[in-house]
Amino acid sequence: MKEFMARNKYPEQTLEKILNVAQKLFLEKGFDQTTIQDIVDNLEGMTRGAVYHHFKSKDEIMEALIHQMFLENNPFDELRKRKDLNGLQKLKLAVTMNQSNQDGIQMSEQALPLLQNPRILAGIIESNRKYLTPFWLELIEEGIEDGSIQTAYAKQLSELLPLLELWLMPTVYPSSSEEMVQKFMFIREMLTKMGLPLFDEEMVEMVKQQLQRLAE
C-alpha cells in the first residue's frame, strides 16, 4: 500500500508515464496486440493496480491518448497568431497540418475499432463539440469578416464539420475505399456550394490517400 501511494504522490506524472508508454506500444505493436500487462511491464516497476487507478480499460487509455494528442498538436492555437493569412487560408492550413501529423494519423487508425463502442463514440462527439466546433466557428467567422469565406451558415458549418469526419470512418459507416472517396468528393462539393471552398486539388489527393489507407 505504501509503495502504491508513493507512486501516486504525483498522479499527473504517473498518468503521463502511462500514456507515453501506451502510445509507444500502440504504435509499435498495434492496439489489438498490446495488453494492459504489456503496458505495466514497460512502466519500470509500476503495478497493475496503479494503471487501473487511472484507467478502467485499454479502451480508456486510447481515448485519453486521442484527446491528449489533439491538445498537444492543436493547429488552431498556432494559426490564431498568423496575421499573414486570411480565415480560409487558416482553415486550409489547419486541415493540411492535421493530415501531415503522422503519429496522429497512425493513432487514429489504431483507434478505428473503438468507434464501434457507443460510449467512446459519444465521448468523441462530445469532445469534438467542446473543442473542435469553437475553433472552426472562430476561423469561419474570421473568413466571413475578411471576405475569404462567403456563407450565411457559420455556426451550422462549424458543428457539421466534425460530424462529417465521423461519417468518413469505415467502422462507423462501413464503406469501401471507393465509397469513402465518393463521400469525400460529396463533402467537398457541398462545402463549396455552402461558401466554404475548403479543399483544393492538392488537399483532395492528400485526403484521398488517407481514406484509402483507412479502408484497407
Domain(s) of CATH 1.10.10.60: residues in the chain? 2-55
- Contact at 8 Å (CB) between 199 and 191? yes
Whole-number Cα distances in Å, 25 to 19, 33, 47, 59, 183: 10, 9, 17, 14, 33
Return the C-alpha torsion angle 144, 146, 150, 154, nearest 10. Answer: -10
Domain(s) of CATH 1.10.357.10: residues in the chain? 75-215
163-173: average pLDDT: 86
Instruction: Using the predicted structure, report yes or no on whether residue 103 has a pLDDT greater than 50.
Output: yes
- Output the pLDDT for position 214: 64
pTM over 0.95, yes/no: no
Q: Domain spanning 2-55: which superfamily? A: Homeodomain-like (1.10.10.60)
- Contact at 8 Å (CB) between 125 and 166? yes
For residue 152, give the 3-state DSSP assignment: coil
pLDDT in tens, 191-212: 999 999 999 888 888 877 777 7
Most confident of 27-41, 68-82, 103-117, 187-201: 187-201
pLDDT in tens, 134-167: 999 999 999 999 999 999 999 999 999 989 988 8
- Output the pLDDT for position 202: 84
Q: Rounded to an integer, what distance in angstroms lies between the CA atom of residue 214 and that of residue 78?
A: 28
pLDDT in tens, 6-65: 344 446 788 888 988 988 888 788 778 889 999 999 988 788 888 888 888 888 888 787
Contacts of 18 by beta carbon, 8 Å cutoff, 6+ apart:
39, 43, 46, 51, 54, 55, 61
- Name the region of 138 (left: φ>0; alpha: ψ -120 to 50; beta: rest): alpha
Instruction: Using the predicted structure, report yes or no on whether residue 188 has a pLDDT greater than 80.
Output: yes
Instruction: Using the predicted structure, report yes or no on whether residue 5 has a pLDDT greater than 60.
Output: no
Q: Rounded to an integer, what distance in angstroms lies between the CA atom of residue 86 and that of residue 89?
A: 5
Options 1.10.300.10, 1.10.8.420, 1.10.3330.10, 1.10.357.10; which CATH number does 75-215 get? 1.10.357.10
* E runs forming strands in the chain: none
